[in-house]
């Protein structure tokens, strides 16, 4: 499989790159910073230096052309302000979907988040509320498209070692999940095109990942 990952230097993206490369897939990680190329290569992928906040649809379509699937795993990250929550977490996802449609790449897996219905909570910090709105808008846009999309919404993320077991369903109680387990679920979704059209929530749990994915598929 040939997979393009937007946000290729992210923690989940690098883990996914390693998993896919180790099993023989070709992985291209889209990164904004040339200094991140070495990390993508160390994980077994190839790097494409492209700033999704400023690229044209045609540039991104060229980058994903010939791929079997694209994964949106980009994010503005900690320390970014309200404006970049929109330009990365929403607009870059929309741009990648535009490019996938233009290039004829049908399979599109998007990393979202749980709890996107909370931005109007008056206790919510302004920047986090902007993040929630941006992710919700990106998901809403993707769901209108004629692509074989799947949206994965993990709970709170940890760097604990992989457990290999999860809870995966359309709706689950908010809880934590390891980034390693999120990456493994993403790899499994790419292997299961019958999960297209599903919005799935993911937290830690007691069901082996392959079994959880097979039950969803």
DSSP reduced 3-state for 159: coil
Picking from 183, 181, 108, the residue whose alpha carbon sits closest to that of residue 141 is 108
131 is catalytic: yes
CA distance 209 to 217: 12
Beta strands in the chain (DSSP E): 2-6, 26-31, 46-49, 69-72, 107-111, 148-154, 156-158, 165-169, 176-178, 198-204, 207-208
CA distance 198 to 89: 20
Which of 45, 89, 99, 131 is flagged as catalytic? 131
Q: Are 98 and 35 in contact (CB under 8 A)?
A: no
155, HSE (Cβ side, Cα atoms, 13 Å) = 19
DSSP reduced 3-state for 66: coil
CA distance 202 to 181: 9
- Active site members: 131
């Amino acid at each position: 499989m040939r997979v393009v990952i937007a946000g290729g230097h992210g923690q989940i993206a690098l883990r996914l790159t390693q998993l896919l490369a180790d099993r023989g897939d070709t992985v291209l990680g889209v990164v904004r910073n040339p200094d991140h190329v070495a990390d993508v290569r160390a994980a077994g992928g190839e790097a494409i230096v492209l700033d999704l906040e400023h690229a044209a649809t045609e540039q991104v379509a060229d980058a994903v052309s010939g791929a079997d699937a694209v994964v949106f795993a980009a994010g503005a990250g900690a320390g970014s302000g309200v404006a970049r929550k929109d330009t990365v977490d929403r607009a870059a996802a929309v741009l990648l979907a535009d490019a996938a449609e233009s290039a004829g790449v049908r399979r599109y897996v998007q990393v979202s988040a749980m709890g996107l219905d909370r931005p109007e909570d008056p206790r919510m910090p302004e920047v986090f509320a902007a993040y929630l709105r941006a992710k919700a808008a990106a998901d809403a846009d993707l769901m209108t498209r004629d692509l074989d999309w799947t949206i994965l919404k993990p709970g709170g993320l940890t760097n604990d070692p992989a457990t290999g077991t999860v809870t995966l369903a359309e709706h689950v109680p908010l809880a934590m999940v390891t980034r390693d387990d999120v990456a493994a679920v993403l790899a499994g979704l790419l292997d299961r095109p019958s999960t297209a059209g599903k919005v799935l929530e993911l937290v830690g749990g007691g069901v082996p990942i392959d079994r959880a994915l097979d039950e969803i598929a």
